């Protein structure tokens, strides 16, 4: 049989254990070790949510398996899925090496994040492409899939369901708002005409329209702890304004992420939730996509389309 087309599924990565947090954080900071205070602060966030288990690893494994199954259903025997993580083992380069070792000559890269930014998806792809070139593998990158109809359908269903739950718990007729959010990035992405913000707004507006929600806003979350300015407003500020404007509840829809991990389980479920309580406003979060078959089909169809165009 012809060698398979390799599919490099990339995700952010998470430490392997509590002892691995320092190495992971150092990698995120491009080789600069965190100060003891920074390390303690990050460790305490992991402690609060995971208690020794790092859900992103298992979630990424399951999504990679789900994508392999969806590809096998659509094109039996044609694609082989490999994993490459941005900040943890197996690193992106390890994934490309594994494809090379299996004799793969053609590969497609896709990130478990629907929106393109040069600082997010772009940097995954640069690393993957460089390694693929060194290994003599033809490489095709998927840049984004933020408006794929099945992705929107999966998110619409989640927003509808959670909105109904929120409405039931706040009482009939109370004003509610949907807050779509994604990981903030440094403001300087605007200077290079990065499509990140525009794509996030496009997803938000398609999902709001599909769910029949007219009162919604996009806001940022999880901004980095650096000196440079990051895109705002942050969700904590937005919650305060929303409460002050008289809303009884908000539905948090972190559409920039596709599974449960620190940025959702801590930044939304613990930090934003505590702020909402303090402000006396109800906060409910949508379920994350995980291995929803509509999301797996979104990935599989996007990969197949890229494969047909490139090879
Ligand atoms: O559950 C986990 O273990 C990992 C959760 C996690 C995800 C995630 C996704 C994104 N990040 C993005 C950008 C940045 C930039 C910096 C940055 C820093 C961190 C730190 C942790 C962390 N990120 Fe992350 N990110 C996750 C976790 N991220 C921990 C370090 C401590 C902190 O700042 O909070 C700043 C780097 C620097 O200091 O120079 C920029 C973007 C995404 C969404 C797209 C994607 O998934 O790739 C963008 C999940």
What pLDDT digit, counting tens, does each position of 256-276 carry?
999 999 999 999 999 999 999
Cα separation of 166 and 284, whole Å? Answer: 6
Three-class SS of the chain = CCCCEEEEEEECCCCCCHHHHHHHHHHHCCCCCCCHHHHHHHHHHHHHHCCCCCHHHHHHHHHHHHHHHHHHHHCCCCEEEEEEECCCCCEHHHHHHHHHHCCCCEEEEEECCCCCCCCCHHHHHHHHHHHHHHCCCEEEECCCCCCCHHHHHHHHHHHHHHHHHHHHHHCCCCCEEEEEEEECCEHHHHHHCCCHHHHHHHHHHHHHHHHCCCCEEEEEECCCCCCCCECCCEHHHHHHHHHHCCCCEEEEECCCCCCCCHHHHCHHHHHHHHHHHHHCCEEEECCCCCCCHHHHHHHHHHHHHHHHHHC
Minimal-distance CA residue to ligand 1 atom 40:
185
268 lines ligand 1 (CB under 6 A): no
Report the separation in Å between the CA atom of 293 and the middle of ligand 1, taken as the mean of its atom positions: 26
pLDDT of residue 53: 81
Distance CA 220, CA 80 (A): 35
In order along its 311 residues, the chain shows pLDDT tens digits of 567 999 999 999 999 999 999 999 999 999 999 999 999 999 999 999 977 689 999 999 999 999 999 999 999 999 999 999 999 999 999 999 999 999 999 999 999 999 999 999 999 999 999 999 999 999 999 999 999 999 999 999 999 999 999 999 998 889 999 999 999 999 999 999 999 999 999 999 999 999 999 999 999 999 998 899 999 999 999 999 999 999 999 999 999 999 999 999 999 999 999 999 999 999 999 999 999 999 999 999 999 999 999 99
Q: Whose CA is nearest to atom 37 of ligand 1?
A: 29
Inter-helix orientation angle 149-170/293-310, to 10°: 160
Atom of ligand 1 nearest to the CA of 28: 36
54 lines ligand 1 (CB under 6 A): yes
Tell me the CA distances in angstroms from 112 to 128, 210, 256, one per residue in order.
Answer: 14, 23, 10
Model pLDDT for residues 204-218, shown as the tens digit of each residue: 999 999 999 999 999
* Ligand 1 centroid – CA 284 distance (Å): 23
Residue 157 CB–ligand 1 contact under 6 Å? no
Please give the pLDDT value at position 183. 98
Q: With a threshold of 0.90, does the pTM exceed it?
A: yes
For position 230, what pLDDT does the model report? Answer: 97
Q: Is the CB of 113 under 6 A from ligand 1?
A: yes
Question: Using CA atoms, how far apart are residues 265 and 143, in angstroms rounded to an integer?
Answer: 26
The pLDDT of residue 1 is: 58
* Residue 58 Cβ < 6 Å to ligand 1: no
pLDDT at 197: 98
Mutation pick for ligand 1 pocket among 28, 45, 53, 58 (CB with most ligand atoms within 8 Å): 28
Could you tell me the distance, in angstroms and rounded to a whole number, from the CA of residue 111 to the centre of ligand 1? 14
**Ligand 1 pocket, residue 273 CB under 6 Å:** no
Q: Which atom of ligand 1 is nearest to the CA of 45?
A: 29
Ligand 1 atom, smallest distance to 182 CA? 43
């Amino acid at each position: 049989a012809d060698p398979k087309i390799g599919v490099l599924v990339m995700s952010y990565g998470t430490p392997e254990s509590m002892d691995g947090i320092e190495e992971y954080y150092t990698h995120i900071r491009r080789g600069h070790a965190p100060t003891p205070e920074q390390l303690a602060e990050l460790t305490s966030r992991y402690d609060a949510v995971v208690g020794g288990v790092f859900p992103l690893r298992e979630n990424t494994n399951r999504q990679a398996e789900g994508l392999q199954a969806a590809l096998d259903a659509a094109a039996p025997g044609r694609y082989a899925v490999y994993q490459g993580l941005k900040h943890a083992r197996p690193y992106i380069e390890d994934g490309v090496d594994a494809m090379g070792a299996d004799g793969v000559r053609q590969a497609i890269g896709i990130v478990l994040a629907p929106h393109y930014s040069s600082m997010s998806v772009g940097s995954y792809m640069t690393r993957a492409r460089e390694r693929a070139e060194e290994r003599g593998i033809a490489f095709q990158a998927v840049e984004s899939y933020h408006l794929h109809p099945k992705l929107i359908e999966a998110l619409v269903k989640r927003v509808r369901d959670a909105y109904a739950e929120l409405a039931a718990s706040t009482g009939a007729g109370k004003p509610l708002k949907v807050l779509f959010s994604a990981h903030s990035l440094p403001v300087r992405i605007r200077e290079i005409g990065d499509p990140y913000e525009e794509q996030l707004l496009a997803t938000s507006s398609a999902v709001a329209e599909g769910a029949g929600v007219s009162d919604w806003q996009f806001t940022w979350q999880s901004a980095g702890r650096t000196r440079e300015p990051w895109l705002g407003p942050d969700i904590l500020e937005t919650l305060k304004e929303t409460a002050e404007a008289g809303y009884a509840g908000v539905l948090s829809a972190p559409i920039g992420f596709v599974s449960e991990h620190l940025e959702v389980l801590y930044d939304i479920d613990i930090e934003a939730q505590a702020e909402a309580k303090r402000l006396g406003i109800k906060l409910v979060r949508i379920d994350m996509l995980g291995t929803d078959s509509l999301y797996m089909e979104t990935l599989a169809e996007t990969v197949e389309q890229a494969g047909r165009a490139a090879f």
